[in-house]
Amino acid sequence: MNKKKFLLLFILCCALPLAAAKLVLEMGWFSRGASSHGQWQQTEVFLLPATTEKAHWRLAVPAAEGCDSQCQRALFTVQQLYVGLGRKQQQLQPVLLGGTKPPEQFNVFSSLQPERSIPETLNKHILLIDQQGLVLLSYPAPATDADMAGVAKAIRQDLLKLFNYDRTSA
């Protein structure tokens, strides 16, 4: 193989993947940032005090005056998700926000009073809160019984990723 043919093949092998990547990005065939299933918060919202416990990730369900049927479905979803985590439960604390006592059938929840009022956009959502008390992700509370499995699956996938990459509980 002569030098010119080798140089042409070498340049082609280097340029072809770059051109293909540019084409994929230009045509919009690649969805950026689609690795999480929840809604990332655009502003910082600190709802809970910082914690030093091993279970420093918190899944919170805001409850206004009493707990309506959508709130009950959210509580059930989080409880089932918590039980399904198995040994990874020790990294998560289910929380009912609002200072109201959780119903008896949801005994895994602890009741906490938020440090500030819960923004209206976060009501009717399940909130993922980090060890500093910052709301990171929100998931819409299941409106029907059929939605509960999909919401739980989305939260579980995000939680397992967070647990996997978390270096603060090592």
The answer to whether 58 and 92 have CB atoms below 8 angstroms apart is: yes
pTM: 0.77
Query: Tokens representing 103?
Result: 């119903």
> What does the pLDDT read at residue 14?
93
The yes-or-no verdict on residue 170 having pLDDT over 60 is: no
Backbone phi and psi for residue 138, each to the nearest 5 degrees, phi listed first: -130, 145
Q: Taking residues 99-107, what's their average pLDDT?
A: 82
Which of 51, 53, 116, 106 lies closest to 83 in space, CA to CA? 106
Q: Where are the domains of the chain?
A: 1-30, 39-165
The yes-or-no verdict on residue 155 having pLDDT over 90 is: yes
CATH class in words for 39-165: alpha beta
> What does the pLDDT read at residue 101?
82
Query: Tokens representing 40?
Result: 């990332």
Give the pLDDT confidence of 8-55 residue by residue, as tens digits: 999 999 999 999 999 988 888 877 666 788 888 888 999 998 888 877
> What does the pLDDT read at residue 169?
56
Nearest-Å Rg of the Cα atoms of the chain is 22
Beta strands 92-97 and 125-129, pairing class: unpaired
> What does the pLDDT read at residue 151?
93
Q: Taking residues 80-103, what's their average pLDDT?
A: 89
